[in-house]
Copies of this chain bind each other. A is one copy, B any other.
Amino acid sequence: MTLTLPPHTDEESLSAALDDFAAALGPAAVLRTEPEVREFRDPFWPAGDDTYAPSAVVMPETVEQVQEVVRIANRHRVPLWTHGQGRNNGYGGPAPRVGGSVVVSLRNMNRVLEINDELAYAVVEPGVRWFDLYDALQAGGHELMLSIPDLGWGSVVGNSLDNGCTYLPYGKDFMAPCGMEVVLADGEVLRTGMGAMENNPSWHLYKRGLGPVLDPLFIQSNFGIVTRMGVWLLRRPETYTALMLRLWNADDIGPAIDIIRELRLSDTIQGVPTIGNGLGIASQLTPRSQWYDGADPIPDEVQDRIGRELGVGRWAMRFGLWGDADMVELRLAKIRKAFARIPGAEVLATPYSGQDIAQAKVAPHDKVLAGIPNLDINTMTGWYGGEEGGHIGFSPVLPLTSEAFLEVHNLLRGIVEDEARLDYIAGSLVINERSVVTVAMIIFDTKDEAQTRRAYEVVRKLATEAGKRGYGEYRAHLDFMDLASDQYAFNDHAYRRFCERIKDAVDPNGILSPGRHGIWPSGARDV
């Protein structure tokens, strides 16, 4: 057995910690040999490179075991790295920022603790996947549904804490999560909001509390391990109408963005729409080789042909409406009228009843917005490399205006195509009424190490160039976390320095996820 050691930790301390974990949690809860540990690497990172390889994995099943894990880590000064499911692909998956960290995988803390029909919420442990919560709602015959992301295998808690998106109402602005239990670095259990009062029934109902509001402090942070979270659910509606906007010309995206903003501001469009270019949708449906065999980026005329032949256009927006049939009909009429200002633009509508949703009688591409988890979109990584495909993304936040969108879109496309010579696959998440996250999705063949390295290289370039223009990422891959964080430099990194002060106060030994989104404990800072 060759362990990847974390910095400042010798083999003896690490082994002693692993023995203590095994003594406290049982030997089956500690993975310390290959191939078990190998599964917890970034699936898309070059296989021979140990930069982000964990030394071992511990899998607690209870809050008490999580408390034991942090106490042991403190004793031996071993860095931990936590995930719910670790399906954070494109951002590093289950792998830690600091090579040799012990991964705390919460996959076995997978209980749905409560489903409340009257008040429409659930309470989950961090290992609960979208699949699991969906299954629990179906099995219990609850007339409730869940705002979900594209891939159903991830953790509800983990996704929320990484600022991952979901697409139904409650998908935006951290609306779904409410009330947390957190194990702190010293092993203490904190409950946030109304949960700070024993037996307070509003813990998962009211977003604040008395005093400072802490839930959002645990987003993308390393101040504690969230072991329980409330999540708001939706009453199953009378109808759900799946919508697709098709735009046939590459230039239609500008006016479309401004129309989308107005439809959001007037509360006509609900949920979180996603807009992709034709290549983005083609990558989910077909391999690249079907369309083009040049090594250069796919030219515009071929993109036009793909859009026509697949029937997706140059840009397509996936969105939906939920509610009583009469309300949905009114909203849809307003949406159609608004987009009619773009010549040739089409809004395709597929209506479903609440009964259809309950019985999962929904077409595959309409499932996500029906709250039915799946893995369909995962095929997109096969664009270049078939089964061995990987992806990373660069995801800056922009104002929801045509001007900002076109500026950033042209910048990103230019760098990806002209410098990296890769296809520019664009997806955009309309996060709220005023902002959009545009994702430059870089797909590569993981068997092709040169292409893989080039993909990571180009994202570094994108982060730097966008940063110069005042655009920053909402979430970053392990390999760019520091670079992404570096862009947030106002007043000599006042934000980061403030977070570091909190970090040092609540985790003085720096054992919890050091380096997560640029926050390092005192011993490990460059500055």
Contacts and interface: CB of A to CB of B under 8 A. Distances in A.
Interface of A: 118-121, 163, 169, 173-175, 184, 188-192, 194-202, 205-221, 223, 232, 234-235, 237, 261-262, 265-267, 323-324, 326-327, 330-331, 334, 397-401, 404, 431-435, 467, 470-476, 484-485, 487-491, 494-499, 501-502, 504-506, 516-519
B206 A212 contact: no
A210 B473 CA distance: 7
Contacts of A205: 397, 399-400, 432, 434-435
A323 B266 contact: yes
Copies in the complex: 2
B498 A197 contact: no
Contact of A471 (B200, B217, B221, B519): B200
Given A188-B491, A324-B334, 11 more contacts: A173-B207, A195-B490, A197-B470, A202-B398, A208-B216, A210-B518, A211-B495, A211-B518, A212-B218, A213-B219, A214-B495
Contact of A216 (B189, B213, B494): B213
Contacts of A470: 197-201
B119 A399 contact: yes
A334 B194 CA distance: 32
A120 B489 CA distance: 27
Contacts of A485: 210-211
A165 to B, nearest CB: 11
B334 A211 contact: no
A326 B266 CA distance: 13
Contacts of A490: 191, 195-198
A213 B474 CA distance: 11
A249 to B, nearest CB: 24
Given A208-B216, A330-B326, A398-B202, A120 B189 contact: no
Given A217-B214, A474-B206, A400 B519 contact: no
A120 to B, nearest CB: 6
Given A184-B498, A208-B474, A219-B208, A399 B202 contact: yes
A232 B434 contact: yes
A324 B266 contact: yes
A197 B472 contact: yes
Given A197-B489, A501-B506, A210 B517 contact: yes
A210 B210 CA distance: 26
B188 A494 contact: yes
Contact of A399 (B201, B210, B220, B495): B201
A512 B205 CA distance: 31
A211 B506 CA distance: 16
A153 to B, nearest CB: 24
A487 B484 CA distance: 41
Nearest to A504: B505
A395 to B, nearest CB: 10
Contact of A494 (B191, B323, B327, B330): B191
A499 B211 contact: yes
Contacts of A218: 212
Contacts of A475: 210
B207 A432 contact: yes
Nearest to A469: B199
A506 B498 contact: yes
A314 B432 CA distance: 40
Contact of A517 (B211, B487, B489): B211
A173 B265 CA distance: 18
Contacts of A496: 196, 211
Shortest Cβ-Cβ A-B pairs, 10 listed = A213-B216, A196-B495, A505-B505, A212-B221, A196-B488, A205-B434, A199-B470, A206-B435, A211-B517, A205-B435
A326 B191 CA distance: 44
A489 B190 CA distance: 11
A206 B397 contact: yes
Nearest to A211: B517
Contacts of A399: 119, 201-202, 205
A177 to B, nearest CB: 11
The residue among A199, A208, A220, A475 with the most chain B CB atoms within 10 A of its own CB is A208
A212 B223 contact: yes
Contacts of A435: 202, 205-206
A198 B489 contact: yes
A485 B474 CA distance: 34
15 contacts: A173-B175, A174-B213, A198-B489, A200-B472, A202-B472, A206-B432, A206-B435, A206-B474, A208-B220, A211-B485, A212-B217, A214-B495, A214-B498, A234-B265, A327-B330
Contacts of A192: 495
B472 A210 contact: yes
